[in-house]
Amino acid sequence: MTTDDLLARHRAVLPSWMPLYYDEPIELVSGAGRRVTDAQGRTYLDFFGGVLTNMIGYDIPEIRDAVERQLRTGIVHSSTLYLIRQQVELAEKVARLSGIPDARVFFTNSGTEANEAALLMATNHRRSHQVLAVRNSYHGRSYAAMGVTGNRGWSASPLNPLQVAWLHSGERLRGLLSRLDADEQVDAAVEDLREVLATQTAGDVAALIAEPIQGVGGFVHPPDGLFAAWKKVLDETGILFIADEVQTGWGRTGEHLWGYQAHGVTPDLLTFAKGIGNGFALAGVVGRAEVLESVPAISFSTFGGNPVSTAAGNAVLDYLLDHDLQANAARTGAILADGLRAAVADLDCVADVRGKGLMLAVEFVRPGGSEPDPARTARAFEACRAGGLLVGKGGLYGNVLRMGPPLTLTEDEAREGLDILVDAIRTAAEVPA
Q: What is the pLDDT of residues 73-107, one digit of tens each?
A: 999 999 889 999 999 999 999 999 999 999 999 99
**pTM of the predicted structure, to 2 decimals:** 0.96
- Which of 222, 205, 225 has its CA nearest to residue 213? 222
Note the pLDDT of residue 284.
98
Q: Which residues of 35-57 are buried (b: 16+ CB within 10 A; e: fewer)?
A: bbbbeeeeebbbbbbbebbbbbb
Q: Are strands 130-134 and 103-108 parallel, antiparallel or unpaired?
A: unpaired
CA distance 211 to 222: 10
Residue 199, Cβ neighbours under 10 Å: how many? 8
The reported pLDDT for the residue numbered 3 is 66
How far does Cα 272 stand from its chain's mean position? 9
In angstroms, the CA 109 to CA 97 distance is 20
What was the pLDDT predicted at 157? 86
206: CB partners within 8 A, 6+ apart: 119, 122, 123, 125, 126, 128, 129, 130, 131, 239, 240
**Domains of the chain: residue spans and CATH:** 3-59+324-430 (3.90.1150.10), 64-322 (3.40.640.10)
pLDDT for res 156: 84
pLDDT, position 305 = 96
Ranges of residues in the chain with a pLDDT under 50 are none
| Run of H or E including 147 | helix 143-147
256-295 burial code (b ≥16 CB/10 A, e <16): bbbbbbbbebbbbbbbbbbbbbbbbbbbbbbbbeebbebe
Q: Given this model, what pLDDT does residue 172 score?
A: 87
- How confident is the model at residue 319, as a pLDDT? 98
Report the alpha-carbon distance of residue 365 to residue 124 in Å, rounded: 43
Q: For the chain, what's the residue count?
A: 433
Whether the CB-CB separation of 284 and 252 falls below 8 Å is answered with: no
Alpha helix locations (H) across 215-369? Answer: 226-235, 289-292, 307-322, 325-344
Q: Is 125 exposed, middle or buried (0-12, 13-18, 19+ CB in 10 A)?
A: buried
- What is the structure's pLDDT at 333? 98
Q: How far apart are alpha carbons 392 and 404 in whole angstroms?
A: 8
Q: Given this model, what pLDDT does residue 377 score?
A: 98
